[in-house]
Amino acid sequence: MLGLGHQRDVPGGANRYMTQLADELAQRGHEIHCLVGDCTDRLPAREQIGRVTVHRFVASGGFFGVLWNGWKAAWQLARTESFDLVNSHFAFYAAGARLVPALARLPWETTFHGPWADESAVEDPRASCIGIWVKGRIEAWIYRRSHRCDTKSRAFAEILIGRYAIDRSCVEVIPAFLDTRESVPAVDPAVCRSRLGLSGAVPLWISVRRLTRRMGLDRLIRVFGELIRQGFAGHLVIVGAGDQRPDLETLIQALGATDRIRLAGLVSEETLADYYGAADLHIVPTIALEGFGLIAIESLARGLPVLATPVGGLVEVLAPLDPACLTADASDAALLAALQEAIDGRRRLPAATRCRDHAVERYDAEVVVPRVEALFRQVIEARSSAGRSSLATRQGGGGRVRD
């Protein structure tokens, strides 16, 4: 597996998914190696984490430095290990491995977490146009040379097909998953609040997100400030880290809401579980490029209802549960209206039992991982019988996305 980072090193949705998938496949008897970047240059180059072997290369030194380091690490790995399949989770780090002949000859399957170039443009409007173009070209090169691609939602499948010209028949929609045996509702929310030092007498809303522009946290803070002005007595805790933190802190101070809105930063898994257990509502205010929303099913599995903007894969996760979980659109006004309705009872969100049942029935690891395992086997078998081919040579045609 080729990824941006191990979840233990670099928290984030894509890294969490790759790490969990590696663990699940290893538990099913597969030998799994993960090659990931290390931006700190302080982590071990090789480490056994559970049943998975993690290999790291130094992800610094500029564009060519990262590419060179990734190529060297992949070349060394190909000399010492044999593999049946390469599964890519981040195009840039996969590029070095793709230049290693021994790996390039293997069946390739790409898990598409999102358009790297487009996300970069959204996160930083001042980003170089040339840099964005180069990222897009690297992505297209990796995706078109994969024998199959999977993605978490139909929304992102359409991006793969339209943005990168990948044939529909080569794209499969397989949702993200989690171990619902570990993500369980809190026994006593009051105990969770006590451990967090929070009052049990007022409503508590949370948002677990990276602090970046496309997550929409600035608009959530503005909307919450308006609710405070209208007399709402609740508190908001935002859990996560990211480059937008200074801007969000300034906004909270400007609203005079430092006693009502907290930026909790990165927290341990145990503390995060307490936030889920203590909260009354989880808000996901994404404004662009939401491939799935793994954090939404984590919340639902713990019995905590989610109110989200209708962006990307969030619609596919939440609409089958209850349309009330989605705002009318991704605007500030729609978010404010939905939260006002939740406060006064006009919007009735699903109860804890319905939330958990939805997550268990659709997104438990025992339901989803066998589909990934079957896809990998199909790619290996098709590559063995058909010889060398790639998505780029099979473009065109209609058909439907597999899901």
Q: Where are the domains of the chain?
A: 2-177+367-394, 189-362
pLDDT band at 397 (very low <50, low <70, confident <90, very high): very low
Give tens-digit pLDDT for 261-292.
Answer: 999 999 999 999 999 999 999 999 999 989 88
Nearest-angstrom CA–CA distance, 160 and 254 = 41
Q: Which helix (H) or strand (E) holds 225?
A: helix 217-229
* Residue 10: per-residue pLDDT: 84
Contact 52, 27 (CB under 8 A): no
Domain 2-177+367-394 matches domain 189-362 at the CATH topology level: yes
CATH architecture of 189-362: 3-Layer(aba) Sandwich (3.40)
Pairing relationship of beta strands 52-58 and 46-49 according to DSSP bridges: antiparallel
Nearest-angstrom CA–CA distance, 104 and 180 = 36
pTM of structure: 0.89
Tell me the residue ranges of DSSP E strands in 100-170: 108-112, 148-151
Q: In the predicted model, is pLDDT for residue 387 greater than 60?
A: no
Other CB atoms closer than 10 Å to residue 68's CB: what's the count? 16
> pLDDT averaged over the chain?
93
* Residue 400: per-residue pLDDT: 54
Give me the CATH topology for the region 2-177+367-394: Rossmann fold (3.40.50)
* Residue 41: per-residue pLDDT: 84
